[in-house]
């Protein structure tokens, strides 16, 4: 079987597996997915990011989901098509690059390990980090292909790499560091500056089109202001140490028996691979690698810096693909290759089988966004919301579970899909309160979260921003509780006649 056909088989198999386990799996605990879904719904209704609603990251992820909904219809499964593509594309690139460096057998093992260990660390939910990591991995793969080729094929590959890198930046702007690293590497190609010029041409095509689009809709200045907002507010609240996990590592062993602690320690070897593989990959620096390998390494290191200040294990997991390739190629040429390949295969297969068993055991429910499956607690919360709330009614989620807007297909009267305590300044809280006062929503979904929980999730948060007293007073004075689950309280506006249309 040719390498292209085998890579296609890898892509199709990963897509099929991920679609089965994750396309319709509901999970209420992920916040970033809800932010993207809310933005995509607003885009479909004609709104423009930054101008008409709050957005602080790149716009491309929301537009990709909106495009998927436009083609496939609004459902959870069609929204997840983008992240399924992301992981399948990264897995295929990992296979393709590893095959070039270490052969087909090693490439297949590495691709299997990549999917398995990614699923061990993360659930599969739409996220701009998945998108940017996928497109940047595609970009470095195209650069590698361009450096292998010559003539027009090289220039075409480098131009396509520039477009892919720009798409990654439009999903997560800080990954521009990785795009710049690839451009610098191309400056050292044998054809002097032609490859780098083709790469820059791709960037100009993609970024110029985007700038023209937002400028024509009066949103370019707002987009720049959003970047300034992120610079002033995002970094401090979201700062973590390298390889950090929520609550720290010690809590994983709290109350565990000797056997349990031993098993947790063994599992941590695989869970922490996104943090340890970059250290292994540095061994390439002593091997005097060629420019193609340097491009992979430089892109990977730059992606780590782009994740700052979120250097926690989850964010390192998104950008781990280049280091799987480099570490696998190193191990393939060592005397440890057979035992490492055996252990990696066994653990990856066990993880994929475990995830599959969970898929088979989870209950399902018909909802407004299609048939979904998930944990009983999450499905109970969804049922509670859908028993009371109807599509197109007004609803405000406070402080932070924006997935509710998508599940209920309700309208948010404010420009904010979320208000993260400890990060948003008082000016944003006041703006949201003014919008709520001008148009009180019929429903509010409220979560009473202690300050300690916010600080556990976002340890760098400003303690003085933990509460938004104006919004909390608005809710307390005007709303009454209708129903609740373990996490959510469903509140209804006390002035019921305000929502009854006159005859």
**237-257 pLDDT tens trace:** 777 888 888 767 776 666 667
pLDDT band at 141 (very low <50, low <70, confident <90, very high): very high
- pLDDT tens digits for 418-471? 988 878 888 999 999 999 999 999 999 998 888 777 777 777 777 777 788 999
Alpha-helix residue ranges (DSSP H) falling in 187-257: 194-216, 220-237
| DSSP count for the chain of H helices, then E strands | 22, 6
Q: At what angle do helices 60-72 and 31-44 cross, to 10 degrees?
A: 60
Q: What is the pLDDT of residue 255?
A: 67
pLDDT at 87 over 60: yes
Taking a C-beta distance cutoff of 8 angstroms, is the pair 91, 12 a contact?
no
- CB atoms closer than 10 angstroms to residue 190: 10
CA distances from 485 to 371, 397, 400, 488, 491 (A): 21, 15, 16, 5, 12
Q: What is the pLDDT of residue 503?
A: 36
- pLDDT tens digits for 270-297? 888 899 999 999 999 888 899 999 999 9
* Distance of alpha carbon 240 from alpha carbon 74, whole angstroms: 35
């Amino acid at each position: 079987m040719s390498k292209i056909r085998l890579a296609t088989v890898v892509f199709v198999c990963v897509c099929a597996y991920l679609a089965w386990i994750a396309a319709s799996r509901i999970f209420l605990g992920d916040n970033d997915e809800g932010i993207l879904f809310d933005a995509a719904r607003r885009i479909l209704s004609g709104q423009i990011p930054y101008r008409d609603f709050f957005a602080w990251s790149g716009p491309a992820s929301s537009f990709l989901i909106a495009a998927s909904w436009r083609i496939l219809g609004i459902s959870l499964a069609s929204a997840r098509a983008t992240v399924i593509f992301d992981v399948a594309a990264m897995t295929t690139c990992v296979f393709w690059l590893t095959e070039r460096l270490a052969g087909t057998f090693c490439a297949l093992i590495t691709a299997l390990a990549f999917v398995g260990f990614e699923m061990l660390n993360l659930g599969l939910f739409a996220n701009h980090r998945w998108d940017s990591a996928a497109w940047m991995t595609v970009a470095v793969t195209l650069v590698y292909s361009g450096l292998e080729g010559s003539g027009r094929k090289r220039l075409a590959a480098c131009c396509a790499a520039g477009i892919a890198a720009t798409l990654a930046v439009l999903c997560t702007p800080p990954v521009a560091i990785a795009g710049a690293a690839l451009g610098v590497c191309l400056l050292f190609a044998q054809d002097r500056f032609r490859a780098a010029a083709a790469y820059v041409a791709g960037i100009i095509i993609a970024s110029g089109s985007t700038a023209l689009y937002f400028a024509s809709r009066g949103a370019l200045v707002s987009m720049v202001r959003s970047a300034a907002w992120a610079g002033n507010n995002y970094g401090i609240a979201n700062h973590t140490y390298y390889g950090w996990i929520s609550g720290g590592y010690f809590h994983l062993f709290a109350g565990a028996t000797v056997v349990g602690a031993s098993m947790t320690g063994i599992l941590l070897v695989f869970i922490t691979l996104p943090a340890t593989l970059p250290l292994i990959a540095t061994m390439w620096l002593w091997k005097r690698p060629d420019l193609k390998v340097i491009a992979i390494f430089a892109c990977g290191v730059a992606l780590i810096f782009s994740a700052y200040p979120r250097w926690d294990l989850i964010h390192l997991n998104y950008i781990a693909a280049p280091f799987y390739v480099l570490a696998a190629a190193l191990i393939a040429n060592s005397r440890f290759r057979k035992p490492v390949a055996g252990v990696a295969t066994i653990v990856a297969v066990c993880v994929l089988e475990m995830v599959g068993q969970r898929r088979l055991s989870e209950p399902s429910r018909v909802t407004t966004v299609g048939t979904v499956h998930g944990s009983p607690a999450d499905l109970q919360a969804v049922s509670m919301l859908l028993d009371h709330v109807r599509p197109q009614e007004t609803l405000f989620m406070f402080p932070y579970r924006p997935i509710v807007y998508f599940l209920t297909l309700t309208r948010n009267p404010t420009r904010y899909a979320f208000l993260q305590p400890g990060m948003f300044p008082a000016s944003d809280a006041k703006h949201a309160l003014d919008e709520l006062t001008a148009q009180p929503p019929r429903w509010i979904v409220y979560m009473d979260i202690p300050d300690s929980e916010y600080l556990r999730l976002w340890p760098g948060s400003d303690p003085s921003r933990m509460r938004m007293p104006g919004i909390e007073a608005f809710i307390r004075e005007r709303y009454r509780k209708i129903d609740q689950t373990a996490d959510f309280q469903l509140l209804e506006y006390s002035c019921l006649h305000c929502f009854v249309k006159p005859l």
